[in-house]
């Protein structure tokens, strides 16, 4: 055992001081709360560095993912909410003014979906209707993307591709709105979500082994195309959980369980033989700032499904991954008496380097472990 490192005061740009954290032992991989807080503190050191309301200067959709993570962590840890609750107002007000994306709307339906779902997470933790309204405005724009030759919604407004990710996020958002709105609005969202869910299972994007392809080919009989990335498997699990929440219909949990069992199985296309989640680029060690985000989104979806329908095999998967990150893919730097927990991209390790995206993705795994063991 290495001696415990103490977490001191950390100055977080624009947000004041965090209070002293309890000591943290690098090798205590199952202290999920401490580990998630240390990882989140490090994520926050990338926030507002350029006054764009984002993490990093212009990490647009990834910042939607980070906002979701922060909202979930603060829902699990009221001290963290008290210290960092400003991040919601600040991101909402500042990021909209950044670049060409008023109301978090741009040319990509998946980008919009990340933000829409993030604002539902923020709404859940704050109860502030402004965030629910923001999610509705985003949803209304996404619905404009329906009507591809293969059904479902487009990936982009240029109508270049039909992707699993934009559809998964859309179904999750529609179902999430159905679960959070009154009887005057809820049925409309729900029928869209159900329609989207049925499309997802009918179009061929889910293969016979319950693994999800990246998309379908609009010019070649809507055949499945692309790789089976982690986030394609994970976001749809969050959609299943939201559909169940909105309807009480267990069919969504059963279909979600088939998908979750397939992707969490050791040796699946997204899981190593040791049970660690990975994308193809982890094998070659060259995940970029797009793909490095995907595993975090996977963990968010699996967490939601596990909370709706607990399974020991998924809980073990989540905790095994969180512990592997802490044991193998962590570097703790002492910066003037403050311990900074840096998390890399390959969750099997060894740690090489971290950046805001690898940090945010790994944080989702730690938060999932905290949530499913509480």
Ligand X SMILES: *[C@@H]1O[C@H](CO)[C@@H](O)[C@H](O)[C@H]1NC(C)=O
Would you tell me which residues interact with ligand X (CB under 6 A)? 89, 92-93, 128, 130, 194, 217, 219-220, 225, 249, 251, 254, 257-258, 261, 311, 313
Complex with ligand X: residue 40 or 257, whichever CB lies closer: 257
Complex with ligand X: residue 145 or 215, whichever CB lies closer: 215
Q: In whole angstroms, what is the distance from residue 362 CA to residue 73 CA?
A: 13
Minimum Å gap between C-beta 194 and ligand X is 6
Complex with ligand X: residue 220 or 273, whichever CB lies closer: 220
Minimum Å gap between C-beta 320 and ligand X is 15
Burial 359-371 (b: 16+ CB within 10 A, else e): bbbbbbbbbbbbb
The answer to whether residues 8 and 41 touch, using CB atoms and an 8 Å cutoff, is no
Q: Which residues make Cβ contacts (< 8 Å) with residue 232, sequence separation at least 6?
A: 164, 165, 168, 212, 213, 214
Pairing, β 215-216 against β 162-163: antiparallel
Complex with ligand X: residue 15 or 225, whichever CB lies closer: 225
Minimum Å gap between C-beta 221 and ligand X is 9
Minimum Å gap between C-beta 290 and ligand X is 17
Q: How many CB atoms lie within 10 A of CB 31?
A: 17
Q: Which residue is nearest to ligand X (CB)?
A: 220
Complex with ligand X: residue 29 or 270, whichever CB lies closer: 270
C-alpha 214 chain-centroid distance: 17
Distance set, CA 325 to CA 84, 148, 278, 355, 361 (Å):
24, 40, 12, 15, 11
Q: How many CB atoms lie within 10 A of CB 142?
A: 23
Complex with ligand X: residue 92 or 229, whichever CB lies closer: 92
DSSP state, residue 345:
S
Minimum Å gap between C-beta 131 and ligand X is 6
Q: Please list the alpha-helical segments (H only) found in the chain.
A: 32-44, 60-76, 78-84, 86-95, 109-126, 129-143, 164-180, 186-202, 230-247, 251-264, 280-284, 294-308, 312-328, 356-373
Minimum Å gap between C-beta 33 and ligand X is 26
Query: Cα angle at 75 between 339 and 329, to 5 degrees?
Result: 35
Complex with ligand X: residue 286 or 316, whichever CB lies closer: 316
Minimum Å gap between C-beta 257 and ligand X is 4
Complex with ligand X: residue 186 or 313, whichever CB lies closer: 313
- Half-sphere CA count of 343, side-chain side, radius 13 A: 35
Peptide bond into 166 cis (omega under 30): no
Complex with ligand X: residue 97 or 337, whichever CB lies closer: 97
Complex with ligand X: residue 260 or 281, whichever CB lies closer: 260
Q: Render 217-278 in DSSP notation, one character per residue.
A: -TTTTT-EES---HHHHHHHHHHHHHHHHHH--THHHHHHHHHHHHHHSTTSTTB-TTS-B-
């Amino acid at each position: 055992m290495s001696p415990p490192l103490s977490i001191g005061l950390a100055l977080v740009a624009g947000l004041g001081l965090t209070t002293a954290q309890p000591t943290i032992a690098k090798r205590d991989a199952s202290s999920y709360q401490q580990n998630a807080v240390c990882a989140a503190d490090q994520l926050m050191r990338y926030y507002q560095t350029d006054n764009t309301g984002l993490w990093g200067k212009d990490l647009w959709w990834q910042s939607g993912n980070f906002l979701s993570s922060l909202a979930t962590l603060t829902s699990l840890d009221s001290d963290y909410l008290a210290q960092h609750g400003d991040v919601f107002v600040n991101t909402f007000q500042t990021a909209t003014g950044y670049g060409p994306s008023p109301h978090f709307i741009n040319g990509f339906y998946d980008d919009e979906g990340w933000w829409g779902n993030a604002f539902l997470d923020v709404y859940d933790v704050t109860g502030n209707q402004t965030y629910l309204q923001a999610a509705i405005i985003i949803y209304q724009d996404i619905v404009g993307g329906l009507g591809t030759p293969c059904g479902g919604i487009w990936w982009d407004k240029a109508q270049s591709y039909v992707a699993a990710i934009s559809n998964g996020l859309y179904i999750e958002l529609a179902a999430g709105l159905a679960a959070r709105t009154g009887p005057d609005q809820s049925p409309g969202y729900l029928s869209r979500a159900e329609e989207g869910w049925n499309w997802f299972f009918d179009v061929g994007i889910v293969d016979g082994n319950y693994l999800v392809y990246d998309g379908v080919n609009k010019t070649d009989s809507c055949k499945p195309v692309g790789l089976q990335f982690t986030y394609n498997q994970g976001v749809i699990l969050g959609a299943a959980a939201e559909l169940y929440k909105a309807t009480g219909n267990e069919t969504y949990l059963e279909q979600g369980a088939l998908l979750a069992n397939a992707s969490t199985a050791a040796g699946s296309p997204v899981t190593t033989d040791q049970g660690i989640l990975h994308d193809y680029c982890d094998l070659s060690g060259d995940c970029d700032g797009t793909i490095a985000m995907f595993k975090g989104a996977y963990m968010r979806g699996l967490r939601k499904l596990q909370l709706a329908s607990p399974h020991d095999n998924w809980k073990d998967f989540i905790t095994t991954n969180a512990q592997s990150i802490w044991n193998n893919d962590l570097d703790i730097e002492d910066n003037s008496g403050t311990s900074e927990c840096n998390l890399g991209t390959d969750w099997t390790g060894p740690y090489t380097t971290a950046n805001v995206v690898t940090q945010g993705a790994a944080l989702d795994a730690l938060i999932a472990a905290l949530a499913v063991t509480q």
